[in-house]
Structure 1
Amino acid sequence: MHARVSDTAGRIVRRAHTKCSATPRTFEYIDLGGDMKFAFVFPGQGSQSVGMLNAFGDHPVVRETVQEASDALNQDIGKLIAEGPADDLNLTTNTQPVMLTAAYAIYRAWRADGGPAPAIVAGHSLGEYTALVAAGALKFRDAVPLVRFRAQAMQTAVPVGQGGMAAILGLDDETVRAVCKEASTAGTVEAVNFNAPAQVVIAGHKAAVEKACEIAKAKGAKRALPLPVSAPFHSSLLKPASDQLRAYLANVEVDVPSISVINNVDVAVVHEPARIKDALVRQAAGAVRWVECVQAMAKAGVTNVFECGPGKVLAGLTKRIDGNLGGAAIVDPASLDDVLKQVSAQ
């Protein structure tokens, strides 16, 4: 959403494996090693824009990454990124592979230009797949069609028009959970994205989401904003998508990551391929516990969190979650150079 560290960047030796609950818990780390402990976070759907890689021009690894994605999907991903149109870029089935490609291309540019590996990585929703690719757990050529399949499965899990999402601003997490419980008489509605303090996204049946928005406003929410999405992402209504993902992932090779990856659904670091797959399966229909992910990084001794990929959403959330964390967003060659200077100066 940092002096140089080695590629191995330390490791986690004690972890309390947690499940999503009303009483969030994190886990304990020893020192990660190195003088500057920085993390990379990768954005999810919503940060895309036409021309988002144009500033990198003909950077060899960026061009190579985009071509690899095009080959994997048999589609001109480079043209879609550079020229759009926006309506096509914003289709979920295009957005997910495109965002993975763009963020990973920028990460590869960082490494190619001399940037060291981060101590820890994480990604918001779709961004978790980018984090796993950056950590060497997923091969990029496998991840691109995987996230397209994920997009298709999530999009079709609930008939269009039956689901919805909304952002609730100005209420604490427990109050939002209580709002959802009260609104559940109209259908399923759940807190699904804990993005920052007093910024929670809810999802579920459209009528229940609308009722929750009304209740939230009555309880003092500053805003309750319906989101322009066509599916209730990360709600339990997407269980069919999780089931499809489980079957698909059974045939995808996952390796032990070389960098610790904090997952969304448990706020945990797991190294075993089977457990990595399981977390991805549950994430489709489980809450994104982003606040806790960033807090876990700080607890691990991370001092800087750098967002790697289009947009600057996660960099903004980091400041709201923990004002003591430094960081920036790497979105173009200029910002990449700035972060390189920060890292090299330590």
Structure 2
Amino acid sequence: MADFVFLFPGQGSQSKGMLDAFDGIDIVARTLEEASDALGFDMAALIRDDADDKLGQTQFTQPALLTASTAMLRLWQEQGGPAPVQVAGHSLGEYSALVAAGVIAFSDAVKLVSFRGKAMTEAVPAGVGSMAAILGLADDVIGDLCSTVSDSEHKVWAANYNCPGQLVVAGHASAVERLIVAAKEAGAKRALPLAVSAPSHTPLMQSAADQMAQRLQDVAFNTPACPVWGNANATTETNVDNIRAALVAQLVSPVRWTETVQQLSNAGVSKAVEMGPGKVLAGLVKRIDRNMVVGPAFGPDKIESSIALMNAD
């Protein structure tokens, strides 16, 4: 069996009914019940029906995604799936990775990310901030454009280094609008605003980071069972104090996903499992390293096939 990693997706991978394929599976139902008990609302109904259109609201999206990823992880373990050598998560997914590594108890993690979502929403008033995806330009070109279009009061920054040719920017709405125009003029294939109001992974999230720094001190952290990659520094951590600090830094620093996957590949990791709904990360990994194989986990049959893939030589 070759070394492999679990990759956990972040916000944007959620969808109504994202656990429908697991209906009737006891370990999944128990995970949903545990999340409901921790948060005081029916997590199963939110994910299955989303009757109140809350799944797109950050404070609900984040615990819902973490719950879905953890449910899939637990079924993987129940089915006898092998343990990864390392774990990594994209943005919010870093919390799912910490659950997988045994650093944070699941019940604590869902409460943490619910708090995180609220803090992020409150950090910047609605309409003040925005995010945009820029496709087809080099990272350094976009970085220069961010500096060019920013002024003393309205700024835009690189927020997610997702893969070569795909970078998400965030900041003040007016600066993001200027960046979109500048990117198109510079030859971007696409430059489009995202349906997200909170300018994540920028200095505008400082108040949320300050709140999380305090909140994290009240949560028990354990030494990880395997190395966990941090988004902010694209390195692995095993020290719990450093992991706490990395979660705070993550809110105001860009997600260095391209670099993380490149380092995994350079270390000889050739297989991964996207432990969550959808296949967003599989698509990003394919553009970073075509030789890395990513197995899915968004259905019992997918988990079965990915277990076989990870066990194969």
TM-score relative to the length of structure 2: 0.98
Amino acid at match of 1:100: L
Cα distance in structure 2, aligned partners of 1:117 and 1:170: 36
Q: Which residue does the alignment assign to 2:12? A: 46
Q: Which residue does the alignment assign to 1:305? A: 272
Cα distance in structure 2, aligned partners of 1:234 and 1:168: 16
Cα distance in structure 2, aligned partners of 1:38 and 1:343: 7
Q: 2:208 aligns with which of 220, 237, 241?
A: 241
Q: 1:320 aligns with which of 278, 287, 291?
A: 287
Cα distance in structure 2, aligned partners of 1:233 and 1:44: 12
Which residues in structure 2 correspond to 1:120-131 (within 5 Å)?
A: 120-131=86-97
Q: 1:288 aligns with which of 246, 255, 276?
A: 255
Superposed displacement of residue 285, structure 1: 1.2
Deviations 1:42-86 (A, max 9, x none): 011111111111111221211111111000001100111111137
Amino acid at match of 2:21: A
Amino acid at match of 1:157: A
Q: Secondary structure at the match of 2:169?
A: strand
Superposed displacement of residue 115, structure 1: 0.2
Extract unaligned runs of 5+ from structure 2.
Answer: none
Superposed displacement of residue 343, structure 1: 2.3
Cα distance in structure 2, aligned partners of 1:215 and 1:86: 38
Amino acid at match of 2:68: A
Superposed displacement of residue 328, structure 1: 2.0
Q: Which residue does the alignment assign to 1:181? A: 147
Bigger Cα displacement from structure 2, 182-191 vs 139-148: 182-191
Q: Which residue does the alignment assign to 2:238? A: 271
User: Are positions 1:205 and 2:172 aligned together?
Assistant: yes
Q: 2:228 aligns with which of 255, 261, 276?
A: 261
Q: 2:183 aligns with which of 212, 216, 231?
A: 216
User: Are positions 1:149 and 2:115 aligned together?
Assistant: yes
Change over 3 Å in CA distance of 1:249–1:39 after alignment to 2: same
Cα distance in structure 2, aligned partners of 1:132 and 1:110: 16
Cα distance in structure 1, aligned partners of 2:311 and 2:185: 51
Cα distance in structure 2, aligned partners of 1:49 and 1:37: 30
Cα distance in structure 2, aligned partners of 1:166 and 1:226: 4
Q: Which residue does the alignment assign to 1:101? A: 67
Q: How many aligned positions are there?
A: 312
Q: Which residue does the alignment assign to 1:158? A: 124
Cα distance in structure 1, aligned partners of 2:156 and 2:258: 20
Q: Which residue does the alignment assign to 2:302? A: 335
Q: State the percentage of identical aligned residues.
A: 48
Amino acid at match of 2:266: K
Extract unaligned runs of 5+ from structure 1.
Answer: 4-35
Amino acid at match of 1:37: D
Superposed displacement of residue 144, structure 1: 0.6
Task: Report if the CA contact (8 A) 1:132-1:138 is conserved.
Answer: yes
Task: Report if the CA contact (8 A) 1:161-1:206 is conserved.
Answer: yes
C-alpha RMSD of matched pairs (Å):
1.0
Superposed displacement of residue 270, structure 1: 1.2
Cα distance in structure 1, aligned partners of 2:303 and 2:41: 28
TM-score relative to the length of structure 1: 0.89
Superposed displacement of residue 344, structure 1: 2.9
Amino acid at match of 1:323: R
Cα distance in structure 1, aligned partners of 2:242 and 2:24: 38
Q: Secondary structure at the match of 1:88?
A: coil
Q: Secondary structure at the match of 1:89?
A: coil
Superposed displacement of residue 296, structure 1: 1.4
Task: Report if the CA contact (8 A) 2:82-2:311 is conserved.
Answer: no
Q: 1:89 aligns with which of 34, 52, 55?
A: 55
* Regions of 4+ moved over 4 Å: none
Cα distance in structure 2, aligned partners of 1:329 and 1:285: 30
